[in-house]
Chain A
């Protein structure tokens, strides 16, 4: 429009007039006191459902609905702070529309869903029908596959046709009922995701210290002087741990990060060193050698608190990658006859020792010789960590060998997910023992668990090889009778001489009056394992062969989280029926409608049962520091969704009802199982059974010291005994912060065992009972009596010099194990290459762990070649969680981390012609998938034995379900596991990568 002078003036005048008439000067307005939505709200405490830091969250509730979630300022670990996932918790239940209105998260399962064989879609059903139908399936499959005795005539009372997977995200009370129920049905295929994450930690730490858990705890990190995050990315995966790490740094502590790529933890670290995936064993062996050669170890500590002085059978040896006693099987796999791994004993059966540490057969000298092969140059060549960097790390970390300094190793999947992982963790344990870092504030081998209750699910033995409290599962070939079990599994010394009490009390908790001294406390009611590997890899292998007809997948998602995940989704087609319990429809429950799959070809019946969130039900969960914290119900679950406890309870009762109506094969374990938790099962009633009670009076037991082996006590899990010993004030529900102390907060929740916060704490004082230093006081002798901050983890009724000989009470030796005969692949750690590796092993003729089973030799990339030239590893981002089942249905998290990607170096990107953000295809012998490329200098190629090898780093949180979907990284990972626990080698394999054309 032509703007005339007149029109222009009009416009200007109008604007100016408006401005004048309505304008104000820049004056100050008063802050308006405002009503905020948390006013008058009820505050209900819960614990975050994500990682195992176990942060406290407050749900603000008005009119029965949660209106706000934020950190619990009273909680000693997080003090009101959270990470992106915890901060987004509200989104799991509610989302905001564009208009700022609240609506329930549309992805939440609110109805029972059923998929008929061959059907293309779900149908909505009701609970009564579902429970009855599933009970029928369990009944019928059990009938068809139950064995009362095995081929050797041993009573086994088991079914191999049903499998249960789950769960690290349900409460202790829920897991307890699930384990109890599944054993009652006769299952031996019991496993879950703990197998995939920290299963290698457990034997490594048990066979070093006596218990398989994180030794210290989160708040304790503030006392460390040097922290090393090797095989972990604590700022991303345990973000609130950084709170306490920063406190340590304010005191001058240093943070070292050793990682294949430069992570968010590395970004704030004092020292970053690169390491090739799969070479932790060499790295730690190098540190051990460095500490020994440079006299940096804590001599007095080693001499008294470890088995350094023990003399070993002169027949013990190591040559070309194999220890003495190696027997090679037909397929090349090795098993060890461990006779030569024994100690020398005198005529009375006591172990012979050499206090001078000079005898060539003493553990100290054997260890020294073994690790002398790991000089700095060798370690650098294997790991790709430059020599000068390695020395910097070694100098800094090994400086904590000085009495009074605390070195802390924090780790997670970067140590656990390899074929030689358990030995790598053993190497870490050995280093920490040499440096005197165990049992002191700020020290420890801190196995950072990853799920809100994976510590609990492991304690509750949702794993095929154990029963609650880490007792070995009764196995036909080893334990045909209870006497045989006690003979084999009760050590001659150490705390576990009490095992009979734990076992009998468990049997009483399961079968009550039906468990009597006459029938060995119903020992035969419990199914007996065979000698097969029934880990997750093993279960899916059986499924692929058609031997498993029914699967209960309880808050699990192996379709995305399992190794060689595509193979697993394929195997699931052989199931007659699948029961999935979850908050959202995950990839496992919807495997039959994966894009590209024809549902008509799949006959599996699928039941999808809607479950409740963490704040929609109550119960206890165990964080990584072994704190058993109680969560409370803030609101009811939506629609037909139910608490997992309710579902487990109703399911058992439905199966029992079936067996009352339709008698079947040996139904006694089901019909006579103790099971009465109320019309709607109550967590506190389960908690009391878990705690333990007197079978005659019903009185709650004080703790596991009250357990008996004559049937007078019942206890669901001896480790937990004490956590609910007072109905009016159960220790697990306590919320009192300490007033004076060092951050242990003994009146906040209950830590197993016996509320000990730092394990092996006898080691915090010297053999005379004096603290090693004033700064690191924990327990010490004053005026002839022990005093201090923690519950003693040793016998305080004997003089200090006597308890100095038995500081690790859970081991038969009662001294920590530098040399440990309980590992299946050797008493000392050794470096072997990952199964798929860029290079041959230079340390010996054995390329990779000789004891690991090779399940799928045809799906093998071998050594790096043109076909699969690149080192592959997988990892996480802070904003998503495991298979993404929860977080990919939370808009605030999808907003900040919207899609699947891989990280590659600029040099690799140039090589394959890819720019930042381009789509790529990653492939391996197991399959391939698509992702975006994140080209970043934080990923660099490794220099290994003089050659450069590129790495592809994969995020694995995505699948085809959920609000945000994407390629499944686990389609390329290998199904091969650690020799001790079959934890898959997710973190080191080979791949190829190309631009998506």
Chain B
């Protein structure tokens, strides 16, 4: 995993340049939304909303804190979506990004249901899953991802993972010494390391992130138990079908006793 992004929530002012830049670069249309009591919009991820800035107000005694977060595909090393995809449409690129091959996707929605961070969008019309691509096209052409290019305060930066990890840890340490005692880095170890690293000012929940992100058990089970068994299952099913067919033939021809009371 060579390249990562570092999202420093302590530098974010929720200006949302990133959210709009993502739409602009990826040519995504706007959704219809309404004001429902929060600055956050759209409310959910979708095939045309791949990233959003989150807002959490927290009262600390007499004072208020307003924590900003940034939800998008985390490009996990241990990616639940890649794990469950039955057709292998989801793979990791050289730089560590989790990439969906639109030509292979069959729209089964397993990834949508299993994503640890609930960021996968599903397009009913195109029957495809869609999400942040880590701006593969820009990166391949020597440009920074759109969100990192747009962020005025370097709250989103793109670069070599090891450098970003050091930076995240140093920044978290500075924050802890300066009024944010629960500040931490996030994404270094989680899920074997996520392509999106964070500096959080406070607990993950206040930045709209799960405290302990894991691949769902069902996804793990599917991947480890059922996927490898699929060859056996195919052979078993084929054998079963053949036996069943033979059985029926025998019954028809009166060769097999068969249990007359057995229902088919």
Q: Taking beta carbons and an 8 Å cutoff, which residues of A are in contact with B?
A: 4, 6, 9-10, 12-20, 22-34, 36, 39, 68-71, 73, 78, 80-84, 86-88, 90-91, 95-98, 100, 102, 235-236, 239-240, 242-243, 246, 262, 264-268, 270, 272, 877-879, 891-901, 915-917, 932-938
Bound-complex Cα distance A898 to B39 (A)? 9
> What are 6 residue pairs bridging A and B, where the CB atoms are less than 8 Å apart in the complex?
A29-B93, A36-B143, A70-B25, A267-B67, A893-B20, A934-B35
Q: How far is the CB of A250 from chain B (nearest CB, A)?
A: 9
Known: A19-B227, A70-B24, A82-B150. A29 touches B99 (CB 8 A): yes
Q: How far is the CA of A620 from the CA of B154 in the complex (A)?
A: 29
Q: Looking at the complex, which one of A15, A102, A895 makes contact with B30 (CB distance below 8 Å)?
A: A895
Query: Residue B35 contacts which of A88, A892, A899 (CB distance < 8 angstroms)?
Result: A899
Chain A residues within an 8 Å CB radius of B241:
9-10, 13
Q: Are A34 and B65 in contact (CB under 8 A)?
A: no
Question: Which stretch (B111-119, B191-199, B207-215, B228-236) binds chain A?
Answer: B228-236
Of the candidates A27, A84, A242, A938, the one whose C-beta lies within 8 Å of that of B66 is A938
Q: How many B residues have CB within 8 A of the partner chain?
A: 80
Q: Which residues of B contact A28 (CB under 8 A)?
A: 91-94
Q: Can you name 13 extra interface pairs (CB under 8 A) apart from A81-B17, A936-B57? A: A6-B244, A19-B227, A24-B91, A25-B88, A36-B143, A84-B19, A95-B29, A96-B28, A97-B29, A242-B13, A246-B11, A895-B42, A898-B32
Residues of A within 8 A of B48 (CB): 98
Is residue B218 within 8 Å, beta carbon to beta carbon, of the partner chain? no
Cβ distance A105 to chain B, nearest Cβ, rounded Å? 12
Contact flag A102-B27 (CB < 8 Å), given A29-B93, A88-B20, A242-B153: yes
Closest B residue, CB atoms, query A933: B37
A894 to B231, CA, bound (A): 51
Q: Is B146 in contact with chain A by the CB < 8 A criterion?
A: yes
> In terms of DSSP, what is the predominant structure of the interface of chain A?
mixed
Please measure, in the bound complex, the distance between the C-alpha atom of A87 and the C-alpha atom of B251, giving whole angstroms.
Answer: 73
Q: Chain B residues near A896 (CB, 8 Å)? A: 16, 19-20, 33, 41-42
Residues of A within 8 A of B63 (CB): 272
Chain B residues closer than 8 Å to A15, beta-carbon distance? 86
Given the complex of chains A and B, what is the CA–CA distance between A80 and B93 in angstroms? 27
Q: How far is the CB of A100 from chain B (nearest CB, A)?
A: 6
For A89, the closest partner residue in chain B by CB is B24
B229 contact set on A, CB distance < 8 A = 16
Contacting pair B93 A934 (CB below 8 A): no
Q: What chain B residues lie within 8 Å of A917 (beta carbons)?
A: 35-37
A80: B residues at CB distance < 8 A: 149-150
- Most-contacted residue by chain B among A15, A19, A39, A100 (CB, 10 A): A19
Q: With A17-B234, A22-B87, A23-B230 as given contacts, are A82 and B21 in contact (CB-CB < 8 Å)?
A: yes
Closest partner residue, chain B, to A4 (CB atom): B264
**Nearest 6 CB-CB pairings of A with B:** A13-B237, A24-B88, A891-B30, A916-B37, A899-B35, A917-B37
Q: Given the complex of chains A and B, what is the CA–CA distance between A80 and B87 in angstroms?
A: 39
Q: Pick the contact of B33 from A71, A243, A898 — CB < 8 Å?
A: A898
The listed residue with most A CB atoms (<10 A of its CB), out of B13, B27, B48, B88, is B13
B34 touches A9 (CB 8 A): no
* Complexed CA–CA distance, A242 and B30 (Å): 27
Would B17 and A86 count as touching, CB distance under 8 A? yes
User: Looking at the complex, which one of A13, A84, A270, A898 makes contact with B20 (CB distance below 8 Å)?
Assistant: A84
> Complex Cα distance A240/B154, Å?
11
The answer to the question of B137 belonging to the interface, with a C-beta cut-off of 8 Å to chain A, is: yes
The answer, yes or no, to whether B76 is at the interface (CB within 8 Å) is no
Q: A20-B231, A95-B29, A98-B29 are in contact. Are A892 and B24 (CB under 8 A)?
A: yes
Which residues on the B side are within 8 Å of A895 (C-beta)? 23, 30-33, 41-42
Contacts known (A13-B234, A100-B29, A102-B27); A87 close to B88, Cβ less than 8 A: no
Q: Kindly state whether residue B139 has any CB partner on chain A within 8 Å.
A: yes
Taking CB atoms, residues of chain B closer than 8 Å to A87 are: 17, 20-21, 24, 150
Q: Is the CB of B29 within 8 A of A239?
A: no
Q: Tell me which residues across on chain B come within 8 A of A893, comparing CB atoms.
A: 20
What residues of chain B lie closer than 8 Å to A14, measured between beta carbons?
Answer: 237
Of the candidates B15, B140, B231, the one whose C-beta lies within 8 Å of that of A878 is: B15
- Pick the residue among B38, B41, B86 that contacts A19 (CB under 8 A): B86
Out of A31, A36, A95, A242, which one reaches B93, CB within 8 Å?
A31
Bound CA–CA A26/B80 (angstroms): 12
- Chain B residues with Cβ under 8 A from A98's Cβ? 29, 48, 125
For B14, the chain A residues whose CB sits under 8 A away are: 264, 267, 878
Which chain B residues lie closer than 8 Å to A16 at the CB level? Answer: 229-231, 233-234, 237
Chain A neighbourhood of B83, CB < 8 A: 26
* A22 vs B230: C-alpha distance when bound (angstroms): 11
The docked-state distance in angstroms from the alpha carbon of A16 to that of B229 is 8
Interface on B for A, CB 8 Å cutoff? 10-17, 19-21, 23-25, 27-39, 41-42, 48, 57, 59, 63-68, 82-83, 86-88, 91-95, 99, 101, 104, 125, 136-141, 143, 146, 149-154, 179, 227, 229-231, 233-234, 236-238, 240-241, 244, 264
Say whether A9 contacts B240, CB under 8 Å: yes
Residues of the A chain whose Cβ atoms lie less than 8 Å from the Cβ of B25: 68, 70
Q: Which of A17, A239, A877 contacts B237 (CB 8 A)?
A: A17
> Known contacts being A100-B28, A896-B41, is A84 close to B16, with CB within 8 Å?
yes
For the complex, what is the distance from the CA of A894 to the CA of B33, rounded to whole Å?
8
Q: A264-B66, A878-B15, A936-B57 are in contact. Are A71 and B149 (CB under 8 A)?
A: yes
Residues A81 and B13 in contact, CB atoms below 8 Å apart: no
Residues from chain A with a CB closer than 8 A to the CB of B12 are: 268
> What distance in Å separates the Cβ of A912 from its nearest Cβ neighbour in chain B?
15
Q: B65 near A267 (CB under 8 angstroms)?
A: yes
How far is it, in angstroms, between the C-alpha of A71 and the C-alpha of B33 when the chains are bound?
Answer: 27
The CA-CA distance from A932 to B10 in the complex, in Å, is 29
Q: Which of A18, A84, A268, A933 contacts B17 (CB 8 A)?
A: A84
Taken together as a complex, chains A and B put the C-alpha atoms of A938 and B62 apart, in Å, by: 11
Q: Give chain A residues whose Cβ lies under 8 Å from the Cβ of B140.
A: 31-34
B233 touches A33 (CB 8 A): no
Q: Decide: A239 and B17 in contact? CB cutoff 8 A.
A: yes
Residues of B within 8 A of A20 (CB): 230-231, 234
Cβ–Cβ contact B88 & A239, under 8 A: no
CB distance from A349 to the nearest CB of B (A): 53
B13, B37, B264: which contacts A239 (Cβ < 8 A)?
A: B13
Separation of A95 and B24 alpha carbons in the complex (Å): 10
Q: Are B21 and A70 in contact (CB under 8 A)?
A: yes
Please measure, in the bound complex, the distance between the C-alpha atom of A6 and the C-alpha atom of B68, giving whole angstroms: 54
Q: Are A27 and B91 closer than 8 Å at their CB atoms?
A: yes
The CA-CA distance from A62 to B184 in the complex, in Å, is 45
Min CB gap B64→A, angstroms: 5
Whether the pair B24, A242 counts as a contact (CB closer than 8 A) is no
Chain B residues whose CB sits within 8 angstroms of the CB of A27 once the complex forms: 91
* Assembled-state Cα–Cα distance A239/B17 (Å): 9
Docked pose: A246 CA to B88 CA in angstroms: 43
Residue among B33, B34, B95 making CB contact with A31, cutoff 8 Å: B95
Known contacts A13-B240, A87-B21, A239 near B64 by CB under 8 Å: no
Residues A235 and B13 in contact, CB atoms below 8 Å apart: yes
Evaluate contact between B13 and A268: CB separation under 8 angstroms: yes
B20 touches A246 (CB 8 A): no
B10 touches A268 (CB 8 A): yes
Give bound CA distance, A22 to B88, whole Å: 8
Chain B residue at minimal CB-CB distance from A936: B57
Contact, CB under 8 Å: A897 / B138 = no
> A936 to B48, alpha carbons, bound, how many Å?
29
Say whether A82 contacts B17, CB under 8 Å.
yes
User: Is B141's CB under 8 angstroms from A36's CB?
Assistant: yes
Question: Once bound together, how far apart are the Cα atoms of A582 and B44, in whole Å?
Answer: 35
Which residue on chain A has the smallest CB distance to residue B19?
A896
Cα distance, A24 to B153, chains bound together (Å): 41
Known contacts A9-B237, A937-B64; A81/B149 CB under 8 A? yes
Query: In the assembled complex, which residues on chain B have CB atoms less than 8 Å from the CB atom of A33?
Result: 140-141
Contact between A243 and B244, CB atoms less than 8 A apart: no
Alpha-carbon separation in the docked complex, A98 to B138 (Å): 23
Are B39 and A897 in touch, CB under 8 angstroms? yes
